[in-house]
Structure 1
Amino acid sequence: MPLLGEIAAVATATMWAGSSLAFARATERLGTLVVNLVRLVLALGMLVPTAFVLRGEPWPSAVDGRAWALLSLSGIVGLFAGDLCLFRAFVLLGPRLAQLVMALAPALTALMGWVFLDESLSGRQVFGIAVTLAGILWAASERTATQPLGSVAPRSSAGWLFALGGALGQAGGLVLSKMGMRTVDPLAATEIRTWAAVVGFIGLVSVRLAWPAVRAAMRDRQGLSATAVGAVFGPYLGVFLSMVAVQHTKAGIAASLMALAPVLVIPLVVWRRRERVGPRGWVGAAVAVCGAAILMA
């Protein structure tokens, strides 16, 4: 199917835009570490029966050792370390500044794809990525009524490092996924990555002695409901679609289109959270969409 990878990448951004609102609500009630663990466990609870229905077995038994290693490492780098850094950056910098740094992820992915995958980009594709990133940066720099510019400490060096870690984690996770998916279907890749990330978070929860907080979260119906909604659109549908994207198009292009999530979330926050978005946000969104159109032309 023509443009399958690009379409899947835009669909991924749409899923992630929707999940971000649910996870924001869940994190307020349950905390970052608990939400990260629970969302992945819930995703696994959906991935395993889906695999059984579509593949006839709940577990990808035919995957070779090299693919297992690369995809597991991808899950640790992207879904565990990368997301952990990103959620921490949201706390230290706020979502707006963290998203500005995360806009580096497509460029980092393209660079890693060139180094490790021997992927080269045409002039039009480089221009499309540049236009998309410019629009995202312009839109993300919008100052909303509910997120004043001075509401967080913008000079938190730890916050900037965590945000950069999130961007590196996303880029490294995508490139490692593509390296491990040469003979693996996207659903099996999603399962392996998610299992690896779950193991990582179980280890972290154990080290931090946070199991009482996890047990307490099981009694918070509103927090669990929000986490479940986010899990459907994020690590279940969103991560699966991202695997389809990196398998069927170049890693840098997939990452650029998936980075549209902060732009696509604008109408959602206007609708659901009643945030006021000024001209900068809407113009940036339009520019980013134009960049996406160039990449898909």
Structure 2
Amino acid sequence: MGELLAILSLLMFSLNVIVTKTASGRLSLDVGFMISISVNVLFSFGLFIIRLVVDSDPLEFHSLGFLMFAASGVFASYLGRSLYFDSIARLGPSKASTFMVSSPLFTFLMAWLFLDETLSYWESLGVVVVLLGLFAVSYNPSRKYAAAGQHGEVALPHSEVSKWQRWRGLVQPGAALALLGAVSYALGNITRGTAIQDWNEPVLGGLLGALTGVILQFIFNKKARHIISSLHNADSKAVRLYVISGVLTISAQIAHIAAMHYIPVSIATLITTAQPLLVIPLSYFLLKNQEGINIRIIAGSLLVLLGISTILLLP
């Protein structure tokens, strides 16, 4: 049961990456993000009402589960999602989703740092393989260096580029955002996993996380307070796509949370974040290879998956 729920979550998360990339070209991410997380709240609230009507089991309150589900909203629905949306626009769906695959790695590393867990030989090897895969995906050999000139930016000769600029130029803008998003999602997975073991209410958990994310957006994002006025002249197709994105993401989150009740958190997270396996072919065919997917990107994605599988599945 847990594996099926995790696979269902994987399918919805993967479709969302393509939908978000398509929508971001028609409407700004700031507006789109608010549409998506607002739909998260509305759709999960509707599911929760259905749960109360259909399910005869009484709803019990658990303070630890409540706090952990709310905390997951801070790390996943607010920080993780906003960073992920931005990285999709900067890197493209295939590369951004590969960085998100590293969230189980960060979950494992956090346990090692803060819970005194040790890394075995295979786990250490898996860390190295993941890092190599991430570098292969983010490496940008064709990036040009530029400096400000009288008529805008001008290209710099290789001899005038500092060593720091050369190293920094190897990695595309957006890679740091994607990695921070992966760390945020890892923290969200830990809090969700803790919550679902204490309080088996995945729909309510999804609702609490989404509601926390919306509240934080309205507090810290001034543009979020003007979302209604921003929709007046917005592209109608983009709005519909972001609505679909909201339905997909909250449904995927609820399925992921439900899977954690049946299988280990690390395994559920590994399955749901294996998005490159679906996103790369979907991006290639549906977006007509706008990202320029090549052997290096495919090989890097497979290395990331191999490394994480080594960490989580081998003794």
Which bin holds the TM-score, normalised by the shorter protein?
Answer: 0.7 to 0.9
Give the distance between the partners of 1:232 and 1:167, measured in 2 at CA: 21
Which residue of structure 1 aligns with residue 247 of structure 2?
Answer: 232
1:132 and 1:272, CA in 2 relative to 1: closer, same or farther beyond 3 A?
Answer: farther
1:171 and 1:197, CA in 2 relative to 1: closer, same or farther beyond 3 A?
Answer: same
Structure 1 window deviating more from structure 2 (39-48 vs 133-142): it is 133-142
Give the distance between the partners of 1:158 and 1:289, measured in 2 at CA: 23
Give the distance between the partners of 1:54 and 1:177, measured in 2 at CA: 19
Which residue of structure 2 aligns with residue 253 of structure 1?
Answer: 267
User: If the length of structure 1 is used for normalisation, what is the TM-score?
Assistant: 0.76
Does structure 1 residue 265 correspond to structure 2 residue 279? Answer: yes
Residue 199 of structure 2 aligns to a residue whose secondary structure is: coil
CA deviation vs aligned residue, 1:208-237 (integer Å, no higher than 9, x gap): 245445422255311111112222222x22
1:194 and 1:138, CA in 2 relative to 1: closer, same or farther beyond 3 A?
Answer: same
Residue 184 of structure 1 aligns to a residue whose secondary structure is: coil
Give the distance between the partners of 2:78 and 2:304, measured in 1 at CA: 28
Which residue of structure 2 aligns with residue 179 of structure 1?
Answer: 194
Give the deviation of 1:54 after TM superposition. Answer: 2.5
Residue 212 of structure 2 aligns to a residue whose secondary structure is: helix
Give the distance between the partners of 2:207 and 2:52, measured in 1 at CA: 13
Which residue of structure 1 aligns with residue 143 of structure 2?
Answer: 150
Structure 1 window deviating more from structure 2 (154-163 vs 71-80): it is 154-163
User: If the length of structure 2 is used for normalisation, what is the TM-score?
Assistant: 0.72
Give the deviation of 1:158 after TM superposition. Answer: 8.1
Which residue of structure 2 aligns with residue 244 of structure 1?
Answer: 258
**Native 8 Å contact 1:174 1:246 kept in 2:** no
Give the distance between the partners of 2:267 and 2:131, measured in 1 at CA: 15
Query: Any gaps of 5 or more consecutive residues in structure 1?
Result: none
1:117 and 1:245, CA in 2 relative to 1: closer, same or farther beyond 3 A?
Answer: farther
Matched to 2:248, the amino acid is F
Give the distance between the partners of 1:262 and 1:45, measured in 2 at CA: 29
1:129 and 1:51, CA in 2 relative to 1: closer, same or farther beyond 3 A?
Answer: farther
Which residue of structure 2 aligns with residue 195 of structure 1?
Answer: 211
Query: Any gaps of 5 or more consecutive residues in structure 2?
Result: 147-167
**Native 8 Å contact 1:86 1:163 kept in 2:** yes
**Native 8 Å contact 2:17 2:97 kept in 1:** no
Give the distance between the partners of 1:7 and 1:113, measured in 2 at CA: 26
Matched to 1:27, the amino acid is S
Residue 233 of structure 1 aligns to a residue whose secondary structure is: helix
Give the distance between the partners of 1:130 and 1:42, measured in 2 at CA: 36
Which residue of structure 2 aligns with residue 86 of structure 1?
Answer: 84
Which residue of structure 2 aligns with residue 24 of structure 1?
Answer: 21
Residue 200 of structure 2 aligns to a residue whose secondary structure is: coil
Give the deviation of 1:10 after TM superposition. Answer: 2.9
Give the deviation of 1:107 after TM superposition. Answer: 1.0
Give the distance between the partners of 1:130 and 1:7, measured in 2 at CA: 27
**Native 8 Å contact 2:95 2:297 kept in 1:** no
Give the deviation of 1:247 after TM superposition. Answer: 2.7
Give the deviation of 1:19 after TM superposition. Answer: 0.6
- Count residues with an aligned counterpart: 285
Give the distance between the partners of 1:152 and 1:22, measured in 2 at CA: 32
**Native 8 Å contact 1:76 1:196 kept in 2:** yes
CA deviation vs aligned residue, 1:244-287 (integer Å, no higher than 9, x gap): 23333333323222221123111211221111643445556667
CA deviation vs aligned residue, 1:8-59 (integer Å, no higher than 9, x gap): 333322211101111112222221222222112112222222222223299x
Residue 62 of structure 1 aligns to a residue whose secondary structure is: coil
Residue 25 of structure 2 aligns to a residue whose secondary structure is: helix
Larger radius of gyration: 2
1:204 and 1:166, CA in 2 relative to 1: closer, same or farther beyond 3 A?
Answer: same
Does structure 1 residue 168 correspond to structure 2 residue 161? Answer: no
1:123 and 1:241, CA in 2 relative to 1: closer, same or farther beyond 3 A?
Answer: farther
Give the deviation of 1:77 after TM superposition. Answer: 1.1
Residue 274 of structure 1 aligns to a residue whose secondary structure is: coil
Which residue of structure 2 aligns with residue 51 of structure 1?
Answer: 48
Give the deviation of 1:138 after TM superposition. Answer: 8.5
Give the distance between the partners of 1:291 and 1:128, measured in 2 at CA: 7
Give the distance between the partners of 2:220 and 2:172, measured in 1 at CA: 23
**Two-structure CA RMSD over aligned residues (Å):** 4.0
**Native 8 Å contact 1:109 1:251 kept in 2:** no
Give the deviation of 1:137 after TM superposition. Answer: 4.2
